[in-house]
Chain A
Amino acid sequence: MFNKGTELLNLCKKQNKKIYEIVIEKEMNDANISYEELMDKMTLVLDTMINSSNSALDKEIISISRLTGGNAKKMENYKNQNKTISGDLITSAMARALSTSEVNASMGRIVAAPTAGASGILPSALITTKERFNLSDEDMIHGLFTAAGIGEIVAKNATISGAEGGCQAECGVASSMAAAAIIEMVGGDVEASLNAASFALINILGLVCDPVSGLVEFPCALRNASGVANALISADLAMAGIKSLIPFDEVVDAMYKVGKAMPETLRETALGGVAATPTGEKLKKGTL
């Protein structure tokens, strides 16, 4: 049982285990299910994630509101021209994150991770890491449990709702979960995982939730793309040995307090940020 990052770290150290092992044990105990049942459920999660990350890469998927779509395919085509500025890995990761976001906006099947609005980040981070290091599906499953452990801590001590904490609580937390998962997948230690999780949250601390027309489309999909990049670079920062001056648990508290301090206009109401620009207002009238 753990409620805080420090408790998770101590459990891992005492039992000489990875985060994912502790999370699996906790879940089997809390939900009273067998290892096989738990793996079956997580495999369904992974399969759904892999599908949503791929399906908008080679065909244009347009949202129900018809406001957005087709950008995952654009990104994938661009990557294939080998002229990218930020490199194949980042552009490919962004294309996959956009894919899940577009599947979501078109009423396709996704996994909320931790929410539907942020659902593109974790799948893309796991697949990108798997391909980069030739890892297995099992490694991705382990990464999912690591990510879930970090998400549980944030949900318990802060929030994972945009209406409560802004986009930092959705895309920020998804990046944080993904960064920690990447570290365990590539063999980093628990401290590095928590550092990476801290970096990802700190990097977007204060990010507002301002969906145009109140729909989970723009800028949500963009922030899924930048969110997976954030996860990847946060993992690299931590693997380089850089440490967070502020411990993970305190970063989570800070994120919560920043969310509480945000005016309601910037928390999923579509009354502030880019949603409240002249063009945002015009689009709102057109779609509703």
Chain B
Amino acid sequence: MKNYGVFDILGPVMIGPSSSHTAGAARLGKIGQEIVDGNFYKVTFYLHGSFAKTYKGHGTNRALVAGVLGMDPSDERIKDSLNIAKEKGIDIEFVETDLGYEHPNTVKMIFHYKNKDDYYIIGSSIGGGNILITNINGNKVEFSGDYPTILIKYKDQKGSISRISSILSDRNINIATMKVSREGKIATMVMEIDNPIEDEIIGLITLLDEVIYITGINPIER
């Protein structure tokens, strides 16, 4: 039996009309913006399932765009986000599609850059404003954005998990959840931690020989 708090019942304070189609969509966009480099000139949203069918009437399109512009789900400017994007010179495109076996409210967000490769993120809005990020640029992941999250790609070798986790424990940081997967010789680790992410931690993990890529993702407001 899941435990509920007062603000699970009276909340979120949000922009309507739908916690899954609007508030959750804004959080998906916002987490995308947290993960990628900020100098994208265009974002393409591939909408799947119910997102594809009802996005205009639910304002899912405006919420997603508001999110990638950095707005929170309670921001009253969400309504005008399409115009705000235009003013900022960011191109926006929506494509209705079928992403296969995904949750009905799923979006694939592709961030386009002038001077480097595109970068994509797939995530679902799973109800009540809760989200699940399932893919970051080809890396299968699973995290909610409710906690500070660290994503690390590294050359799989003995002792990597221990080296990474000791950096955290040495600094008194508790790991809430950890998921490790491997494709070929490259491993992907996703950790949700209980403390805010500090640049120092990211710097220290980057120094490990095996680490190819690391990013810290701050939690997204409800």
Which residues of chain B are within 8 angstroms of A27 by Cβ–Cβ distance?
Answer: 5-6
Query: Contacting B4 at CB < 8 Å: which of A156, A214, A216?
Result: A156
Which of A104, A109, A157 is B76 in contact with, Cβ under 8 Å? A109
A-B contact pairs, 19 of them (CB 8 A): A27-B6, A30-B3, A45-B11, A48-B13, A105-B16, A108-B15, A109-B14, A109-B74, A111-B13, A112-B129, A114-B9, A116-B14, A116-B23, A119-B16, A147-B10, A151-B4, A152-B8, A214-B50, A288-B53
Is residue B62 contacting chain A, with contact meaning CB distance below 8 A?
yes
Among A38, A44, A112, contact of B19 (Cβ-Cβ < 8 Å): A112
Q: A65-B57, A214-B50, A287-B57 are in contact. Are A107 and B15 (CB under 8 A)?
A: yes
B residues 164-214 near A (Cβ < 8 Å) are none
Task: Decide if A64 is an interface residue (CB 8 Å cutoff).
Answer: yes
Pair A65/B56 contact, Cβ less than 8 Å: yes
B16 touches which of A41, A106, A114, A152 (Cβ 8 Å): A106
Is there a chain A Cβ closer than 8 Å to B112's Cβ? no
- Which one, A30, A44, A111, A115, contacts B5 given CB within 8 A? A30
Across the interface, which residues of B come within 8 angstroms of A110, CB to CB? 13-16
Q: Which of chain A's residues have a CB closer than 8 A to the CB of B3? A: 30, 156
CB distance from B172 to the nearest CB of A (A): 18
Instruction: Give A30 to B62 CA distance when docked, in angstroms.
Output: 35
Given A64-B59, A156-B4: A116 touches B13 (CB 8 Å cut-off) = no
Q: Which residues of B contact A (CB under 8 A)?
A: 1-19, 22-23, 50, 53-54, 56-59, 62, 74, 76, 78-79, 127-129
User: In the complex the two chains form, is B62's CB within 8 Å of A109's CB?
Assistant: no
A160 cross-chain contacts in B, Cβ below 8 A = 9
Q: Which A101-145 residues sit within 8 Å CB-CB of chain B?
A: 103-117, 119, 122, 144-145
A216 to B13, CA, bound (A): 17
Which listed residue (A41, A63, A216) contacts B18, Cβ 8 A? A216
B59 touches A109 (CB 8 A): no
Contacts of A151 in B (CB 8 A): 4, 9-10
> Among residues 74 to 89 in chain A, which have CB atoms less than 8 Å away from a CB atom of chain B?
none
A115 to B130, CA, bound (A): 13
Interface residues of A (CB under 8 A from B): 3, 23, 27, 30-31, 38, 41-42, 44-45, 48, 63-65, 67, 103-117, 119, 122, 144-145, 147-148, 151-152, 155-157, 160-161, 163, 177, 213-217, 287-288
Which residues from A are CB-within-8-Å of B14? 109-112, 116
| A contact residues around B7 at 8 Å (CB) | 41, 45, 148
Besides A151-B4, A214-B53, 14 more A-B contacts (Cβ < 8 Å) are: A27-B5, A38-B6, A42-B10, A45-B13, A108-B15, A109-B74, A110-B14, A112-B11, A112-B12, A113-B10, A144-B10, A147-B9, A155-B9, A216-B16
Q: Which residues of B contact A107 (CB under 8 A)?
A: 15-17, 22, 59, 62, 78-79
- Collect the chain A residues with CB atoms within 8 Å of residue B128's CB: 112, 115, 161
Q: What's the Cα separation between A119 and B54 when bound, in Å? A: 20
What are the 6 A-B residue pairs with the smallest beta carbon separation, nearest first?
A: A104-B16, A151-B9, A65-B57, A216-B17, A148-B6, A107-B79
CA distance A44 to B74 in the complex (A): 12
B-chain residues with CB within 8 Å of residue A63 when the two chains form the complex = 17
Q: Which residues of A contact B17 (CB under 8 A)?
A: 63-64, 104-105, 107, 116-117, 215-217
A285 and B191 alpha carbons, distance in the complex (Å): 45
Do A215 and B13 have beta carbons less than 8 Å apart?
no
Q: How far is the CB of A143 from chain B (nearest CB, A)?
A: 11
A153 nearest CB neighbor, chain B only: B4
CA distance A103 to B58 in the complex (A): 13
Asked if residues B6 and A145 are in contact (CB atoms below 8 Å), the reply is yes
Q: How far is the CA of A160 from the CA of B10 in the complex (A)?
A: 12
Given A114-B9, A156-B2 in contact, is the A214-B59 Cβ separation under 8 Å? Answer: no
Q: Are A111 and B54 in contact (CB under 8 A)?
A: no
Contacts of B12 in A (CB 8 A): 111-112
Asked if B9 and A148 make an inter-chain contact with CB atoms under 8 angstroms apart, the answer reads: yes
Closest Cβ–Cβ distance, residue A193 to chain B (whole Å): 16
B157 to chain A, nearest CB (A): 40
Q: In whole angstroms, what is the CA distance A152 to B108 when docked?
A: 34
